[in-house]
C-alpha cells in the first residue's frame, strides 16, 4: 500500500479538462506493490517530487486492490475539492526494491539519516516492509491538531507542511492495525527465535560431538602418523642397507666383468693371431693337397697305363695259349694216331709194310716238328705268365707305395702339428662363423675324396676286378 503525506490538502489528486479523476500514477504504484514477491525487501525514500504538466497523483490511502478495474474506482470515497500539488512538495513513497521507479515522478533523494534506511541484507536476517512508525504518526497528528500553516522541521531535519486531515479516527484504526501487525510479527519473531535457539542448541550439541570426534580422529591420526613415520624410517634404513649391499655387489661384479673382458680381449687377440696362422697353414695344406691330388692323378694315369699294358699282354698271352692249346690238341691227336699206327705195325710186322713205314716216318717227323713248336709256345706262355705276374707285382707295389706315401704325408702333418693344441681346443676357440666355414670346407674335401675313391674303385672294377676278389679273399 502506498501512501503520500503532504501538508497541502488531505488528498493528492487532479482532474483533467473534463473534471474526471485520474488514478494512473497511484494505480501503477499499487500494481507494482501487488506484484512484489513474498518476503521481498522494500525500502522507503524521502525526497521532493517533480511532476509533469499533466501528471495527476492521488494518495487517498486506497489499497492495491482498489486500482484493479472499475470496481476499485467505484469503491473509492468521494473526492475532496481540487488540490493542486505544487512543485517541491515533500512526499514519501514505498515500493519493492526490484521494481523501477515511475518515469513521471522523479525523487531527488537527499542525504538520509541512518535510522531511516532499511538494513542491508547482509546485516539482517530478513528485511520487513514496515508502515509509518508511531513517532511519525504522532508528529503528523501534532502538526494537524496545532492548526499551524507554517512549515515545521522534524527531528531528522525534514520540512513538512501542515496538512488538515478530515478525520483523526483513520489514524487510530491504522495504529490499531499496525499494533496488531506488530504483535503478530513479534509472535512470529519470537517463535522463529525459539526455533532458531533450538536449532542453535542442537547445532551446538552436534558441533560438540563433532569436535570430540574430531579430537579422537586427530589423536588417531597422530598415532597412525607416528607409526607410519617409524615404519618409514625403518624401511628407509632397511632399504638403505640393501642399496649399499647391492651397490657393493654391483661394483664387485663390474670389476669382475672388466677383468673378464680384458682376459677375453687378450684371448681374442691371441685367437685372431692363431686363426691367421691356421688360415695360412690351411692354405698351405690346400696347396699340398692339390699337389698330392695331382701326383695321385699322375700315379692313377700310370696305373691305368700299366693296367692297359697288362690287359694287352694278357690278351696276347690268351691268344697264344689258345693257339698252343690248339696245336697241342692237334699234336696229341697226331700222337694218338701214331700210337695206333705203331701198334698196328707192331702187330702186323714185315717188309710188306715198308710203304706204310715211310709214311709213318714222315708223320713222325711232322709230329716232332709240332712238338718242338709246342715246346716253344709253352715256353712263351710261361714267359708271358711270368711277365703278367711281374706286372701285377709292380701294380701292387705302386698301390702300396701310393698308400704308404699318403700315410707318411699324414703322419708328417700330424708330427708337424703335434705341438699345437688339439682339435677340440681349436674348435672351442673358434667362432661360429669360422666353425661353419671349416665344416663347409671339410664337407667339400670329404666329398671330393669320396668321389676320387669311387672313381678308383670303378676303374679297378672295370680294369682289374680280380684285385678286389683277392682283397676280399684275403
pLDDT digits (tens, 9 = 90+) for 245-284: 999 999 999 999 999 899 988 888 888 888 888 888 888 8
Tell me the C-alpha distance between 247 and 252, whole Å: 9
pLDDT band at 410 (very low <50, low <70, confident <90, very high): low
pLDDT digits (tens, 9 = 90+) for 21-57: 444 444 444 454 455 444 444 434 333 343 444 343 4
DSSP bridge pairs for 15: 21
- Mean pLDDT on 97-125: 43
Q: Which three cell numbers stand for residue 78?
A: 468521494
Radius of gyration of the chain (CA): 79
Candidate from 46-55, 98-107, 405-414, 419-428 with smallest mean pLDDT: 46-55
pLDDT band at 291 (very low <50, low <70, confident <90, very high): confident
- Mean pLDDT on 143-150: 49
DSSP 416-467: HTTTS--HHHHHHHS-HHHHHHHHHHHHHHHHHHHHHHHHHHHHHHHH-HHH
pLDDT digits (tens, 9 = 90+) for 175-222: 888 888 988 989 999 999 999 999 999 999 999 999 999 999 999 999
pLDDT digits (tens, 9 = 90+) for 372-397: 776 777 777 777 778 777 777 877 77
pLDDT digits (tens, 9 = 90+) for 211-231: 999 999 999 999 999 999 999
CB distance 46 to 110 below 8 Å: yes
pTM of the model: 0.24
pLDDT of 162 above 60: no
Average pLDDT for the chain: 66
Find, among 298, 325, 464, 461, the residue nearest to 391 by Cα: 464
pLDDT band at 4 (very low <50, low <70, confident <90, very high): very low
pLDDT digits (tens, 9 = 90+) for 295-307: 778 777 877 777 7
Q: 469 versus 56: which is more confidently predicted?
A: 469
Q: Within 10 A of 376 (CB to CB), how many other CB atoms are there?
A: 12
Amino acid at each position: 500500500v502506498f501512501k503520500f503525506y503532504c501538508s497541502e490538502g488531505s488528498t493528492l489528486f487532479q482532474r483533467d479538462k473534463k473534471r474526471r479523476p485520474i488514478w494512473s500514477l497511484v494505480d501503477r504504484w499499487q500494481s507494482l506493490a501487488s506484484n512484489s514477491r513474498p518476503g521481498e525487501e522494500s525500502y522507503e525514500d524521502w525526497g521532493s517530487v517533480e511532476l509533469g504538466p499533466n501528471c495527476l497523483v492521488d494518495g487517498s490511502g486506497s489499497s492495491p486492490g482498489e486500482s484493479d478495474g472499475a470496481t476499485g474506482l467505484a469503491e473509492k470515497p468521494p473526492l475532496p475539492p481540487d488540490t493542486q500539488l505544487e512543485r517541491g512538495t515533500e512526499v514519501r513513497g514505498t515500493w519493492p526494491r526490484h521494481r523501477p521507479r515511475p518515469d513521471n515522478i522523479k525523487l531527488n533523494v537527499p542525504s538520509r539519516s541512518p535510522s531511516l534506511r532499511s538494513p542491508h541484507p547482509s546485516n539482517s536476517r530478513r528485511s520487513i516492509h514496515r508502515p509509518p512508525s508511531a513517532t511519525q504518526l504522532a508528529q503528523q497528528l501534532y502538526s494537524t491538531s496545532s492548526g499551524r500553516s507554517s512549515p515545521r522541521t522534524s527531528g531528522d531535519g525534514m520540512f513538512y507542511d501542515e496538512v488538515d486531515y478530515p478525520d483523526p479516527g483513520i489514524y487510530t484504526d491504522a495504529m490499531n492495525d499496525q499494533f496488531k501487525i506488530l504483535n503478530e510479527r513479534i509472535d512470529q519473531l519470537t517463535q522463529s527465535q525459539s526455533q532458531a535457539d533450538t536449532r542453535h542448541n542442537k547445532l551446538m550439541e552436534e558441533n560438540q560431538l563433532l569436535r570430540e570426534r574430531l579430537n579422537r580422529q586427530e589423536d588417531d591420526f597422530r598415532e597412525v602418523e607416528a607409526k607410519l613415520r617409524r615404519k618409514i624410517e625403518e624401511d628407509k634404513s632397511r632399504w638403505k642397507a640393501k642399496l649399499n649391499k647391492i651397490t657393493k655387489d654391483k661394483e664387485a661384479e663390474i670389476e669382475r666383468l672388466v677383468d673378464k673382458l680384458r682376459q677375453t680381449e687378450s684371448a681374442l687377440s691371441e685367437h685372431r693371431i692363431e686363426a691367421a696362422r691356421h688360415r695360412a697353414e690351411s692354405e698351405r695344406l690346400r696347396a699340398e693337397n692339390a699337389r698330392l691330388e695331382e701326383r695321385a692323378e699322375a700315379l692313377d694315369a700310370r696305373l691305368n697305363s700299366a693296367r692297359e699294358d697288362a690287359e694287352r699282354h694278357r690278351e696276347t698271352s690268351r691268344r697264344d695259349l689258345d693257339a698252343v692249346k690248339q696245336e697241342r690238341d692237334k699234336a696229341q691227336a697226331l700222337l694218338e694216331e701214331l700210337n695206333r699206327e705203331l701198334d698196328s705195325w707192331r702187330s702186323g710186322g714185315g717188309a710188306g709194310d715198308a710203304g706204310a713205314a715211310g709214311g709213318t716216318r714222315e708223320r713222325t717227323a711232322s709230329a716232332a716238328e709240332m712238338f718242338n713248336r709246342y715246346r716253344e709256345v709253352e715256353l712263351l706262355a710261361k714267359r708271358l705268365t711270368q711277365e703278367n705276374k711281374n706286372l701285377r707285382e709292380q701294380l701292387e707295389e705302386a698301390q702300396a707305395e701310393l698308400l704308404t706315401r699318403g700315410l707318411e704325408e699324414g703322419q708328417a702333418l700330424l708330427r708337424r702339428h703335434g705341438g699345437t693344441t688339439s682339435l677340440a681346443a681349436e674348435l672351442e676357440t673358434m667362432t661360429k662363423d669360422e666353425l661353419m666355414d671349416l665344416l663347409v670346407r671339410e664337407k667339400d674335401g670329404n666329398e671330393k675324396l669320396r668321389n676320387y675313391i669311387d672313381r678308383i674303385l670303378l676303374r679297378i672294377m672295370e680294369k682289374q676286378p680280380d684285385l678286389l676278389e683277392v682283397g676280399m679273399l684275403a
